[in-house]
Chains A and B, each alone.
Chain A
Amino acid sequence: MSDDLEMQYEVARSRPEAFYERFDRKDELQHQTHYCPGCGHGIIHKMVAQAIDELGIQNRTILISPVGCSVFAYYYFDVGNVQAAHGRAPAVATAVKRSRSQSIVISYQGDGDLSAIGSAEILHAANRGENISVIFVNNAIYSMTGGQVAPTTLLGQRSTTTPEGRSAEREGYPLRVSELLGALEAPVYIERVGIGDNKQIAQAYRAVRKAIENQVRGLGFSLVEILSTCPTIWKMSPVESQRWVHDVMEKTFPLGLIRERTKDAQPHETPAPAPADLRKVLGIADQARIVPHQVAKSATNLQVRVAGFGGQGVLLLGEILAEAGLNAGLEVSWLPSYGPEMRSGTSNCHVRISSEPIDSPLVTRPDVLVAMNEPSLHKFYESVPPGGWVLYNRDAMPGECKRTDLNVLARPFTQIAKDLGDARTGNMIMLGALIECTGAVPWQSVDAALRQMIKSEKWLELDRRALARGRELMREPVEEAVHEG
């Protein structure tokens, strides 16, 4: 009889499957975490992993890990992983959830990460009611960086930056994030739990599981704040740390439900708009995406810098060029770079058009420099490699620009544009010249780009004329570089 019973011992709790079998973080002891002995992060990781197992969602979970001691969470969880910049996990989680609505997105954050540098992201994610689950690990200190004060540090608590203890006058009061978020309309579930004793641990596990389950049910924003431990920075033993959560932390951060609307919440999705709808919104739904000629792909690798004063159409020139490249089925990048001024100050943009995937959108050695004024010419003149082109918006190059290893087309483009009908189409004349000299994109693609981007018939006509004029200017015999003075 007792033999029979012996046979009946079964594994009830064991290493959750949501953990990797081995952690490549270290070379040895690859089944241990990197956390200090007794660290609350380990306990909370286990709760998250266990909940993922129980809900059967491992293959559709995406964990957003933070900056802080848990920055390496992605070494542990065998799920999709994204590691976000400090404090930005809820913004990243929003993007991931909206573009993959079937994924279960868990944002895991410390209190420094979430309540200091990331206070804006969590507030707005909660306010939008993103259907994500936030695991907020509050150990009342910046641990990873060695124990500086956090917004959540208790009054009187010592840290390296509050050596005499936090004072309300100097550092303000401990921030009660959960209560703050509880003032918003959208969140469906917010609860503060702790790991201060067995009862708290059991409740914390229930809350973690519930926050994730809410998302599986599509209910909306859920957050669990867990009062956690940091034995190392607190300079306590793991057991003392647990007691400190229970006896001290809890007084500042009372445990309990802060928001519970899961009963009334309706399952919903906030999917990203489909590309087809986007075209409708932009008013270009009827325009077929025109792919006239696939250019000789192997040949194309064009890098352009366009520079001038704000308002000269620098960015638009670059955009139309990039759009034309897209229309031709090429890889493109367009990177604007400008100051805060709308109509003065300088602006410039980087455009790359290539048959190969583009590694970086930065153009530091442009094959073509389009300089719409003299300061821009001076700024980028030396960056053009030998054999490159300079299109300059004056009838001659300034005297000090003496390089003989460049191709130059210096014309008063703005003036020519004025004669054509509107000085503001100077950028399009220069674009016409650029396309003619590089041959990087077919004219049909350029015209299609123009139709996609220019809504007014009048401007479309003006710009077409300007492009054609630029082409003519480039076809005229290229003179020796002309220098002023």
Chain B
Amino acid sequence: MTNPEKRNSKPDRGSISIDEEECKGCGLCVEACPTDVLHLSEHINHYGYPSATYMGAGCTGCGICFLACPEPGAITVLRLARRPSGTVIAEHMGELAS
């Protein structure tokens, strides 16, 4: 299990999907993401906003972008299931903040 090759190929702990049409381009998630893996795209959505986009790698699944986003379903956060499911975000956020 300590094989360094394997460790390098470890997948990200998290991933997110963004509903482009729900996003209002406020940029709060971009600001919130501790690992800087979000940005506002060039693409303008139906509403005329540049929607948030995931760069495709580096997400830790921390979930802070979900809480920082004002739209109900614009962001969905995925995590690797090895984590005990049902971890309360707030607790996790506490760890993160400290």
Contacts and interface: CB of A to CB of B under 8 A. Distances in A.
Interface of A: 1-2, 5-6, 8-16, 19, 29, 31-33, 35, 37-43, 45-47, 49-50, 54, 76, 198-199, 201-203, 205-206, 209, 231, 237-239, 242
B97 A9 contact: no
Contact of B28 (A14, A41, A209, A242): A242
Contacts of B97: 198-199, 202
Given A11-B78, A13-B63, A239-B27, A19 B72 contact: yes
Query: Can you list the 7 inter-chain pairs with the closest CB atoms, starting with the nearest?
Result: A42-B70, A15-B73, A202-B93, A38-B26, A37-B24, A8-B81, A199-B97
A46 B26 contact: no
B94 interface: yes
Contact of B96 (A19, A39, A198, A209): A198
Contact of A198 (B15, B71, B78, B93): B93
Interface in B1-47: 6, 9-11, 14-15, 19, 21-22, 24-28, 31-32, 34, 46-47
A194 to B, nearest CB: 13
Interface size class of B (residues with CB under 8 A): 35 or more
B64 A198 contact: yes
A33 B71 contact: yes
B13 to A, nearest CB: 10
A37 B26 contact: yes
Chain B interface mostly: loop
Contacts of A198: 32, 34, 64, 68, 93, 96-97
A201 B79 contact: no
A9 B93 contact: no
B52 to A, nearest CB: 11
Given A9-B78, A199-B97, A35 B72 contact: no
12 contacts: A2-B9, A5-B82, A10-B81, A10-B85, A12-B14, A13-B89, A15-B72, A38-B28, A43-B69, A49-B72, A198-B32, A198-B68
Contact of A12 (B9, B24, B63): B63
A385 to B, nearest CB: 54
A242 B69 CA distance: 12
Nearest to A19: B72
A5 B11 contact: yes
B21 A29 contact: yes
A202 B64 contact: yes
Contacts of B28: 38, 43, 238-239, 242
Contacts of B24: 32, 37-38
Nearest to B45: A29
Nearest to B25: A37
Nearest to A35: B70
Nearest to A1: B6
Q: Which of B9, B22, B89 has the most chain A CB atoms inside 10 A of its CB?
A: B89
A11 B76 contact: yes
A229 to B, nearest CB: 9
Contacts of B57: none
B51 to A, nearest CB: 11
B85 to A, nearest CB: 7
B58 interface: no
Of the listed residues A2, A6, A33, A198, the one surrounded by the most CB atoms of chain B closer than 10 A to its CB is: A198
Contacts of B47: 29, 32
B15 A9 contact: yes
B70 A12 contact: no
Contact of B72 (A2, A11, A76): A76
Nearest to A7: B81
A322 B14 CA distance: 68
Nearest to A204: B67
B49 A46 contact: no
Nearest to B61: A12
A237 B49 CA distance: 14
B75 to A, nearest CB: 8
Nearest to B82: A8
A242 B78 contact: no
Instruction: Output the residue of A13, A33, A41, A199 with the most chain B CB within 10 A.
Output: A13
B80 interface: yes
A6 B11 CA distance: 8
Contacts of B77: 11-14
A39 B71 CA distance: 9
Nearest to B16: A13
A42 B71 contact: yes
Given A9-B15, A38-B24, A29 B46 contact: yes
Given A10-B85, A12-B14, A205 B90 contact: yes
Interface in B81-95: 81-82, 85, 87-90, 93-94
A117 B18 CA distance: 40
B19 A43 contact: no
A45 B89 CA distance: 16
B3 to A, nearest CB: 11
Contact of A15 (B6, B46, B70, B76): B76
